[in-house]
Structure 1
Amino acid sequence: MSDPDAVAVVGGGIVGSAVAYHLAREGVETTLFDRRDEGRATDAGAGIVAPATSSRTGSVPWFEFAVEAADHYPDLVAALEADGATDHGYVRADLLSVAVDADEVDPFERAKRRTERRAEEYGTPEPGTFEELSIDEARDLFPPLSDAERAMVYRDQARVDGRAFAAALRTAGESHGLAVEHADVTDIRTEDDGAGGTGDEAVTGVVADGDSRDFDAVVVAGGAWSGTFGDALGLEVPVEPQRGQIVHLAVDADTAGWPIVSPFRHKYMVSWPDGRVAVGATREDGTGFVPRATLEGLHDVYGEALRVADGLRDAEPVETRVGLRPVARDGLPILGPTPDVAGAFLATGHGPTGLTLGPYSGKVVADLVRGVDPDADLSAFDPARFR
């Protein structure tokens, strides 16, 4: 379809907010329905934007898309600032990769070789922007660091506050006419399209808080809750919640210049300029829609914090965040039009990388809604793969 008169976006996390912002910016009448679910992944995530250091080597399409997504951030930030949304929470930062214990040395070596190959093949990270450091040099960058085996720094990566960035997208979108409603969309209305188009049915609107509303197109960006619309779309949307527990620590230090810290046991530390360090995150499958902290999960996070940075032992725990990541069955995002309902689109399934991929995913899906061919190759993310 092209140039729909009115579009509904379901889900106010970073992905849905990005879709809505880009549509509104292009003059499309857009309504963002934000149910504000407790446990939304956007509100909990620490936001590391560093695809070149990712361990996700099994999917070339994912990596290539992630590089484009990271490159999209500076242009998007400039556009948001031009629209007056300056409190976006996006900051350039170094990333410190550390092998703390001996069993992490082999993964460290593999990551180093992978980075060198990516730099040669893709030009990212740029040659000269990463190097191995001594542990003393690493501790100069991140003073709480424990004794460690190996360390490497990646310059000019980024971190983003998901809550702040999604809010900035909505604020900037509103300056272009975006309507944001706190409402629960419970159904997508369709009818026989009668035109032999892309599917047997076509979108006619949504049901929000019991009221039937007319729209030409709908984008489902409901995060872990996206699968509830499978029946309406005539398509399985195999997205399940993966719980992540994150602890925020207050430290008596100037943390503004501290790097992101990435060890090799699926945890991380992200420092913010207000004397705060976020440590996370658990990856818990099969927990359902239960966004609460657990003793076992917090023990895991605190234990990793002390293992990697024993200099944080006097830090004060000030906040616990719990998010439900939307994980697709095959681990890849689900982006694009649904095969049997014209005017229906999906933008979900980003798993633990939603804050990296989300804003760019929003842009490319907004392009598709408008009938514009996106710059990115989305074939690996096509919803029709679950048909």
Structure 2
Amino acid sequence: MSDPDSVAVVGGGIVGSAAAHRLAREGVDTVLFDRRDDGRATDAGAGIVAPATSSRTDSAAWFALAREAAAHYPDLVADLEADGVTDHGYDSCDLLSVAVDPDEVEAFEAAKRRTQRRSETDGTPSPDTFEEISVERARELFPPLSDAERAMVYRDQGRVDGRTFASALRSAGERHGLSVEHADVTDIALESRPGGTDDTTVAGVVVEGERRAFDAVVIAGGAWSGTFADALGVAIPVEPQRGQIVHLAVDADTADWPIVSPFRHKYMVSWPGGRVAVGATREDDTGFAPRATVAGLHDVYGEALRVADGLADAEPVETRVGLRPVSRDGLPVLGAAPDVEGAYLATGHGPTGLTLGPYSGALVADLVRGVDPEADLSAFDPERFR
């Protein structure tokens, strides 16, 4: 499709909000339908934007996209601020990679080698932005840190409050004509293409029983995206993965504390105002149940005290639970739906939605407009699930 007059974006998380923002800025008549599902991953995520430290080595395509996605954030923030939206929840910060126990040292050394290799081959991260430091120096940067074996610091990484950033994208989009409706899209209206082919084209969406005409639709419904598989006649193999996150209040100035990333799939993200987010569980086969559990919270609190025993007196002030949209192969699903002109998918980011989401949404918005995206999306094409 090229230059549609009107587009419906289904899903108000960070991906859908980014796609709607991009479309509106480019002058497309766009409506974002935001059902505000309880358990939306965007609203729960702690938001680490640091692809250079990722252990995901099985997909060069993922890493290339993540590298560009991280670089996209400052430009997007500048656009938001130029539109007068300054409360966006994004900031640069340092990241500490720590091996707390001896059994983590091997993984620490592998991560160090991987970072050095990426720096040499890809130029990311820059050689002057990471180094191994003493544990004593690491504790100066993050005072609650437990005794540890090794520590690396990565400078100029990013943290983002997903809930705030998605809201900022919608607010900025509205200044360019975006309409946001808190309503439930229940179906996609299709029509047969002329010429006797079996393919169909988007004619609109059904919103709470009412058919609304649109030239194109972007499905960015996160873990709920598979709802539209039958309507579009395509496979959308995305399932919810539950993540539980605890926010702690501490009596300290936490604004400059770094992200802390140990080696047992947990993290700590500090925010101004004496708040530290600790997470997150990765629970499969839980269905659409965005609730905290005793087992999940035990897991999170136990890791918090193992890595940062100085948090023992912190006050739990909030628990967030999100359902990550995890695709069958662990990669995002980005691109045109097969055999349905005007239908596009932007989902399946799993635990990396806050890193990739703003960039993914913008790239799919470009596809909708008939503009070749600046990144190679072939590895993420929905066609791969046919």
TM-score range, shorter chain: over 0.9
Instruction: Determine the C-alpha separation between the residues in 1 that align with 2:101 and 2:345.
Output: 42
Whether 1:135 aligns to 2:138 is no
Structure 2: unaligned runs, 5 residues or longer: none
The CA deviation at 1:196 is 7.5
Tell me the SS of whatever aligns to 1:156: strand
1:324-378 deviation line (CA, Å, top 9, x unaligned): 0000000000000011100000000000000000000011000000000000000
1:104-133 deviation line (CA, Å, top 9, x unaligned): 000000000000000001100001110001
- The match for 1:301 is 300
- The match for 1:55 is 55
Instruction: Determine the C-alpha separation between the residues in 1 that align with 2:123 and 2:274.
Output: 34
Are the structure 2 counterparts of residues 346 and 196 from structure 1 closer, same or farther at C-alpha, using a change threshold of 3 Å?
Answer: farther
1:128-160 deviation line (CA, Å, top 9, x unaligned): 110001100000000000000000000000000
The CA deviation at 1:84 is 1.1
The CA deviation at 1:195 is 4.8
1:42-82 deviation line (CA, Å, top 9, x unaligned): 00000000000001010000000000000000000000001
Tell me the SS of whatever aligns to 1:236: coil
Instruction: Determine the C-alpha separation between the residues in 2 that align with 1:246 and 1:70.
Output: 23
Tell me the SS of whatever aligns to 2:4: coil
Instruction: Determine the C-alpha separation between the residues in 1 that align with 2:52 and 2:195.
Output: 45
- The match for 2:161 is 161
- The match for 2:325 is 326
- The match for 1:266 is 265
Instruction: Determine the C-alpha separation between the residues in 2 that align with 1:6 and 1:372.
Output: 16
1:9-65 deviation line (CA, Å, top 9, x unaligned): 000000000000000000000000000000000000000000000010100000000
The CA deviation at 1:233 is 1.1
Whether 1:237 aligns to 2:236 is yes
Are the structure 2 counterparts of residues 183 and 96 from structure 1 closer, same or farther at C-alpha, using a change threshold of 3 Å?
Answer: same
Instruction: Determine the C-alpha separation between the residues in 2 that align with 1:289 and 1:257.
Output: 36
- The match for 1:73 is 73
Tell me the SS of whatever aligns to 2:93: strand
Tell me the SS of whatever aligns to 2:46: coil
Q: What one-letter code is carried by the residue in structure 1 that aligns with 2:65?
A: F
- The match for 2:28 is 28
Whether 1:189 aligns to 2:189 is yes
Q: What one-letter code is carried by the residue in structure 1 that aligns with 2:363?
A: V
Instruction: Determine the C-alpha separation between the residues in 2 that align with 1:195 and 1:220.
Output: 27
Instruction: Determine the C-alpha separation between the residues in 1 that align with 2:357 and 2:175.
Output: 21
Tell me the SS of whatever aligns to 1:128: helix
* Matched length: 386
The CA deviation at 1:85 is 1.0
Instruction: Determine the C-alpha separation between the residues in 1 that align with 2:94 and 2:264.
Output: 19
The CA deviation at 1:210 is 1.1
Taking structure 1 as the reference length, what is the TM-score of the superposition? Answer: 0.99
Instruction: Determine the C-alpha separation between the residues in 2 that align with 1:16 and 1:274.
Output: 29
What are the within-5 Å matches in structure 2 for residues 1-387 of structure 1?
Answer: 1-195=1-195, 200-387=199-386
Kept in 2, the 8 Å contact 1:247–1:319? The answer is yes
Q: What one-letter code is carried by the residue in structure 2 that aligns with 1:287?
A: T
The CA deviation at 1:308 is 0.1
Structure 1: unaligned runs, 5 residues or longer: none
Instruction: Determine the C-alpha separation between the residues in 1 that align with 2:384 and 2:191.
Output: 23
Instruction: Determine the C-alpha separation between the residues in 2 that align with 1:14 and 1:60.
Output: 24
1:192-227 deviation line (CA, Å, top 9, x unaligned): 111578x70000000011111000000000000000
1:274-320 deviation line (CA, Å, top 9, x unaligned): 10000000000000000000000000000000000000000000000
Q: What one-letter code is carried by the residue in structure 2 that aligns with 1:258?
A: W
Kept in 2, the 8 Å contact 1:194–1:200? The answer is no
Instruction: Determine the C-alpha separation between the residues in 2 that align with 1:261 and 1:65.
Output: 23
Sequence identity of aligned pairs in percent?
80
Instruction: Determine the C-alpha separation between the residues in 2 that align with 1:275 and 1:357.
Output: 27
Worse-superposed segment, 36-45 or 199-208:
199-208
Instruction: Determine the C-alpha separation between the residues in 2 that align with 1:93 and 1:136.
Output: 19
Q: What one-letter code is carried by the residue in structure 2 that aligns with 1:87?
A: D
The CA deviation at 1:174 is 0.1
Instruction: Determine the C-alpha separation between the residues in 2 that align with 1:213 and 1:85.
Output: 30
Taking structure 2 as the reference length, what is the TM-score of the superposition? Answer: 0.99
Q: What one-letter code is carried by the residue in structure 2 that aligns with 1:203?
A: V
Tell me the SS of whatever aligns to 1:8: strand
Instruction: Determine the C-alpha separation between the residues in 1 that align with 2:228 and 2:194.
Output: 23
